[in-house]
Amino acid sequence: MSKLLVFGHQNPDTDAITSAISYAFLLRQLGEDAEAVALGTPNEETQYALNYFKKEAPRVIGDVSQETNSVALVDHNEVQQSATGVEKVEVEFVVDHHRIANFQTANPLFYRAEPVGCTNTILYKMYKEYGVEVPKDIAGLMVSAIVSDTLLFKSPTCTQQDIEAATDLANIAEIDVNVYGLEMLKAGTNLGDKSEAELIDLDAKSFPMGGANLRIAQVNVVDPEELLARREALEESMRAANSENGYDTFVFVITNILTSVSTVLVVGDYKDKVAQAFNSSYTDGLLTLPGVVSRKKQVVPPLTVAFEG
């Protein structure tokens, strides 16, 4: 039997990388020959967490069907967000906290999905259910993911379960979650050395909606003006991405983690419909969305309603 590969989505964020690590460890304790892998290299925020807790990043894979015949998906389920070749292998496990779309299997599988702020919150519950102790370094990575996905508990996706899991995991990891969390989030906002093409692809996902193909990217910053000074080049990169990949519209969300305000650049055929989805209008070609910090809960749902309703 080939090794079970565990991985998160393309353009992996902190939850995608660390949930692969934490779930692979749990599966090994339960008798599976599991290995955490990734569909991309860690971003600055994730690398900060890996360095802090002295863990190596998972190796990056390409076509998963060339590596194994069985996989576990974490932090995603949609095929277009997954590995190349995933349709050719058997998905045996899924642990996720997103919507379910474009997903089917030939055989029964283990599927765990809960409406919480972070996949690692679910995984922490599973550790407790199976009676498996969370190692200190993995606890640190798990709490890092919860901090990342909930923006240090400020996101509307954050639940009491996330807060309780983060508190427990921070105690195991022996960190002050607020002090550590803010430093980690700040590490993820160091974007000055990224090209425009890299910036729009750092944390980007594709979403088919009502016959349209939307690409939605998000970056967290402490000073949006640094990126907006590069607006012309960013929009040119978005247009190029649309043309090269068949996206109908590219939505680039710049989220200020200090003020919880998002500024949105939109390029493509459905620019007006995007504004209508948020009951907003463009000012100098930009959408300003106070209180919008979560792509999963505050960006994708209204767009889905606008395009499919």
* Segments making up each domain of the chain, as ranges: 4-189, 196-308
Predicted confidence (pLDDT) per residue in 113-137, tens digit: 999 999 999 999 999 999 999 999 9
Phi, psi (degrees; rounded to nearest 5) at 152:
55, 45
Pick the CATH number of 196-308 from 3.40.50.1980, 3.10.310.20, 3.40.47.10, 3.40.50.10490: 3.10.310.20
**What residues are designated binding site?**
9, 13, 15, 75, 97, 149
| pTM reported for the whole predicted model | 0.82
- Determine the pLDDT at residue 258: 87
Predicted confidence (pLDDT) per residue in 289-306, tens digit: 999 999 988 999 999 999
Whether the domain at 4-189 and the domain at 196-308 fall into the same CATH topology? no
C-alpha 103/C-alpha 282 separation (Å) is 35
**What residues are designated binding site for Mn(2+)?**
9, 13, 15, 75, 97, 149
C-alpha 62/C-alpha 83 separation (Å) is 7
- State the fold for domain 4-189: inorganic pyrophosphatase (n-terminal core) (3.90.1640)
Predicted confidence (pLDDT) per residue in 216-225, tens digit: 999 999 899 9
Among the residues of 191-284, which ranges form H helices? 196-199, 224-228, 231-245, 271-277
